Amino acid sequence: MASDFIKLGPEALSAPSAQPEIDLLQTERDLDIELPQSLRQILLQYAAPVVFAHGARFRPDTLCGVEGRDGHLTLLTLYGPGAGDSGLLAMNRMYSDQVPPLMAVIGESPGGNQLCIERTSGRIYFWNHEAEHDEAALTAVAESFDAFRERLVADEGISEGTTPKIDESKSFLDF
């Protein structure tokens, strides 16, 4: 599975933490969560928030209405260890009054939507920020972070013909 993750082109978004293990332990303590080992490994390897040069998309367990035509959602960033910009602590503080208390945000999707992990079960959810406190804001994505990671695919080559065709008519009006 690690080689499939590498195909997404993961890159550190910022300078790596000088002490990622300490930052991650402090983050887990402050958020009252034990992160899955596979997520911990990614966060420790990059020691910073992770973005994807080849894009990262996934198909959720349940459709939520904001997927692309092919049923995929996009992951822009996996938040990094610590409290810095795009760090798990900073982002969880930012969303603490919006996402349900049993959730911790671990990544960002377009438009301010968040990828969350349920603190007790480890189940992964997509949180639609437009719905905020409504129960409909959460959509089940995967039973675990490992199952989620296995679903990640690069934007390129998901399947032939899923990219919208370019309108070369030079007009947005169709007369």
Give domain limits for the chain.
2-151
Q: Is 21 helix (H, G, I), strand (E, B) or coil?
A: helix
Determine the 3-state secondary structure of 26 from DSSP: helix
SS3 71: coil
* Cβ neighbours, 10 Å, residue 175: 4
Q: Sorting pLDDT into bands at 50, 70 and 90, what band is 122? A: very high
Domain 2-151 annotated CATH 1.10.150.120: no
Whole-number CA gyration radius for the chain = 17
The residue type at 114 = Q
Q: Which residue has the tokens 């032939």?
A: 160
Average pLDDT (62-90) is 86
Are the C-beta atoms of 93 and 115 separated by less than 8 Å?
Answer: no
Give the model's pLDDT for residue 142.
94
Sequence-distant (≥ 6) Cβ neighbours of residue 72 within 8 angstroms: 57, 58, 59, 153, 158
- pLDDT, average across residues 67-89: 88
* Mean pLDDT score across all residues of the chain: 84
User: Would you state the pLDDT for residue 135?
Assistant: 67
| Cβ atoms < 10 Å from Cβ of 127 | 24
What pLDDT sits at residue 61?
85
Spatial contact of 63 and 91, defined as CB atoms under 8 Å apart: no
pLDDT band at 66; cut points 50, 70, 90: confident
Q: Taking a C-beta distance cutoff of 8 angstroms, is the pair 23, 84 a contact?
A: no
Name the one residue in this structure whose structure tokens are 């602590």.
Answer: 89
